[in-house]
C-alpha cells in the first residue's frame, strides 16, 4: 500500500502539464505581462534613437520614484484583497475592498501635499524637473486602482479579461508615447506624458468596472480597516526594501559614475529582467492556484505543488541561459549603437532574475499565513546589505559592480525566504519523494 501511494506521488505526467489550468492561465498571463511590463523594451528602438543616454536615465529615475510612491500610496492594500479573497464572503469582501479605497485616497492626499511642499528639494536630488514630480502621487493612486482591478480578475481566475485590459493599457501607453516622442518631437516629456495619461484613463475604466460588477462598497469598517493596516504597514518596509534592490544600482551609478551610464545600464537591465517579467506573469497564475489548493490541502496535493515548484526552478535556469545567449542580437536589432555596451551587464542581471524567479515560487506561503512581518525583517536586512555592497562593488568594478552586488543579494534573499516559508507553513520539500508523512495524511 505504501509503495502504491509513493508511486502516485512521484508520477508526474509531462503531457498533463499542458492541459493543466495552471499552464493555460500562465500562458495568457505571460503574454499580457510581456506586453505590459515589456513597454520599456518595446520602446527601446525609439527611445534610444530619440533620447540621449542622459534623458533616458532621467525617464528611468522617474519610473523608479513612481514605483516607490505606489507602495506608499496603496499601503499594499490591493495585496491584502488577494489574501482575503478566499477567506471572506461576498458582502464582507465588498466592504473590505471599499476600505482599501479609503486608505489609498487618504495616503494619496498626504503624499500629494508632501510633494507640493518639497518638489524643489526632490528635483535637486532626483534630477527631475519639479513640476513633473507633482504628477507622481496622482498616477500612483491611478495605478492602485488598475492593480486592484487586475488582482480581482486574477483571483477569479479570469485571465482573458485580465489580458484584454492589460493589453489595452499597453497599446494605449505605447502608442501615445511613440506619437508624442516621434511626431511631436517632445523627447523625454513625451514618454512621461504617455505614462501619465494612460494610467489616468485606465484607472477610470477600472473604477467603472468595479462599480459595474458591484464588488466595492465605500463604507468604513473598523475591523476591515485595521486588518488592511495590519497587513499592509509591516509590508511597507518590505516593499520599499524590495524596490531598493531594483533602484539602488541605478541610483548609485547615477551619483557615482553618471546619468549617461545609468541610461546604458537600464537598457541592459531591461533585457536581463525579461526573465523576471516572465516569472512575475507566471506568479499571477501561481498565487490563486496555490491559495486555492492550500485551503484543504492533503499530503498528495502539497506534494504536487512542490513538484511544480522544482520544475519551475529548472525552467527558470533554462530560460536564463537562452536569454543570455540571444542578448547581443537583441541589442543589435532594438537599440542604437550608443547603447551596445549594455550587454556587459546582462549576465549578472540575469543571475539576479533567476533568484527573483525562484523567490516568487516560495514566498506565497508567508503571505498566505499573513505573517508579513517576516518579509519586513528579511527584505529590510538585504536591502541595507545591497546598499553597502553596491557602493563597494561599484568602487572596485565600476558600473558592472552594481549588477554583481544586486545578483548576490537577491540570491541570499531567496534562500532566506525559502527557509522562512518552510517554518511558517509545512510543505513536503524534502519528503514528497520518500515515505515520511504520506501515512499521516491518508
Separation CA 364–CA 380 (nearest Å) = 18
44: closest CA among 312, 333, 413?
333
Residue 34 makes CB contacts below 8 A (sequence gap 6+) with 277, 278, 281
Strands (E), 10-113: none
Q: What is the pLDDT of residue 140?
A: 92
Q: What is the pLDDT of residue 110?
A: 92
Separation CA 192–CA 420 (nearest Å) = 40
As to burial, measured by CB atoms within 10 angstroms (0-12 exposed, 13-18 middle, 19+ buried), residue 365 is buried
Q: 74 near 137, Cβ under 8 Å? A: no
Q: 75 near 285, Cβ under 8 Å? A: no
Residue 314 makes CB contacts below 8 A (sequence gap 6+) with none
- Stretches where the chain sits below pLDDT 50 are 1-12, 14, 434-442
**Domain spans of the chain, in order of start:** 2-441
What is the SS3 assignment for 19? coil
pTM of the complete model: 0.63
Angle between the N-to-C axes of helices 135-155 and 187-212, in degrees from 0 to 180, rounded to the nearest 10 = 40
Q: 358 near 313, Cβ under 8 Å? A: yes
Q: What is the pLDDT of residue 330?
A: 82
Separation of CA 282 from chain center: 11
Q: How many residues would you count in the chain?
A: 442
CA distance from start to end of the chain = 11
Locate 61 and state its grid cell: 529615475
Sign of CA dihedral 320, 323, 327, 331: negative
Q: What is the pLDDT of residue 99?
A: 92
Q: 270 near 45, Cβ under 8 Å? A: no
Q: What is the pLDDT of residue 283?
A: 76
Q: 409 near 242, Cβ under 8 Å? A: no
Q: pLDDT by residue (tens digit) across 263-311?
A: 788 888 878 877 877 777 777 777 777 887 887 778 888 888 888 889 8
Residue 185 backbone class (left: φ over 0; alpha: ψ -120 to 50; beta: rest): left
Amino acid at each position: 500500500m505504501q509503495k502504491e501511494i509513493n508511486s502516485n506521488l512521484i508520477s508526474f505526467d509531462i503531457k498533463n502539464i499542458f492541459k493543466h489550468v495552471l499552464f493555460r492561465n500562465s500562458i495568457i498571463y505571460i503574454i499580457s505581462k510581456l506586453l505590459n511590463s515589456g513597454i520599456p523594451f518595446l520602446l527601446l528602438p525609439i527611445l534610444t534613437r530619440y533620447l540621449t543616454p542622459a534623458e533616458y536615465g532621467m525617464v528611468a529615475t522617474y519610473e523608479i520614484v513612481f514605483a516607490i510612491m505606489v507602495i506608499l500610496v496603496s499601503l499594499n492594500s490591493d495585496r491584502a484583497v488577494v489574501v482575503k479573497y478566499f477567506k471572506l464572503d461576498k458582502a464582507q469582501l465588498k466592504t473590505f475592498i471599499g476600505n482599501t479605497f479609503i486608505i489609498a485616497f487618504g495616503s494619496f492626499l498626504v503624499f500629494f501635499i508632501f510633494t507640493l511642499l518639497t518638489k524643489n528639494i526632490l528635483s535637486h536630488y532626483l534630477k527631475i524637473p519639479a513640476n513633473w514630480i507633482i504628477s507622481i502621487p496622482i498616477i500612483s493612486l491611478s495605478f492602485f486602482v488598475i492593480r486592484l482591478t487586475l488582482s480581482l480578475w486574477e483571483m477569479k481566475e479570469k485571465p482573458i479579461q485580465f489580458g484584454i485590459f492589460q493589453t489595452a493599457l499597453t497599446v494605449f501607453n505605447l502608442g501615445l508615447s511613440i506619437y508624442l516622442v516621434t511626431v511631436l518631437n517632445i523627447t523625454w516629456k513625451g514618454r512621461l506624458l504617455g505614462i501619465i495619461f494612460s494610467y489616468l484613463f485606465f484607472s477610470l475604466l477600472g473604477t467603472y468596472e468595479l462599480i459595474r460588477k458591484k464588488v466595492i462598497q465605500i463604507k468604513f469598517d473598523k475591523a476591515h480597516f485595521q486588518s488592511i493596516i495590519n497587513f499592509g504597514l509591516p509590508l511597507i518596509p518590505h516593499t520599499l526594501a524590495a524596490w531598493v534592490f531594483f533602484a539602488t544600482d541605478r541610483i548609485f551609478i547615477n551619483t557615482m559614475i553618471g546619468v549617461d551610464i545609468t541610461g546604458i545600464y537600464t537598457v541592459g537591465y531591461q533585457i536581463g529582467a525579461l526573465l523576471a517579467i516572465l516569472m512575475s506573469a507566471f506568479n499571477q497564475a501561481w498565487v490563486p492556484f496555490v491559495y486555492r489548493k492550500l485551503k484543504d490541502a492533503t499530503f498528495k496535493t502539497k506534494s504536487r505543488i512542490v513538484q511544480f515548484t522544482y520544475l519551475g526552478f529548472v525552467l527558470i535556469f533554462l530560460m536564463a541561459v537562452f536569454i543570455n545567449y540571444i542578448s547581443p542580437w537583441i541589442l543589435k536589432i532594438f537599440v542604437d549603437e550608443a547603447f551596445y555596451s549594455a550587454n556587459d551587464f546582462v549576465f549578472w542581471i540575469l543571475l539576479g532574475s533567476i533568484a527573483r524567479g525562484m523567490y516568487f515560487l516560495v514566498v506565497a506561503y508567508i503571505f498566505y499565513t499573513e505573517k508579513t512581518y517576516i518579509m519586513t525583517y528579511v527584505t529590510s536586512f538585504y536591502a541595507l546589505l545591497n546598499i553597502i555592497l553596491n557602493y563597494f562593488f561599484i568602487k572596485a568594478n565600476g558600473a558592472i559592480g552594481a549588477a554583481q552586488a544586486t545578483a548576490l543579494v537577491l540570491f541570499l534573499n531567496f534562500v532566506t525566504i525559502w527557509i522562512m516559508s518552510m517554518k511558517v507553513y509545512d510543505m513536503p520539500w524534502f519528503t514528497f519523494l520518500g515515505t515520511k508523512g504520506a501515512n499521516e495524511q491518508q
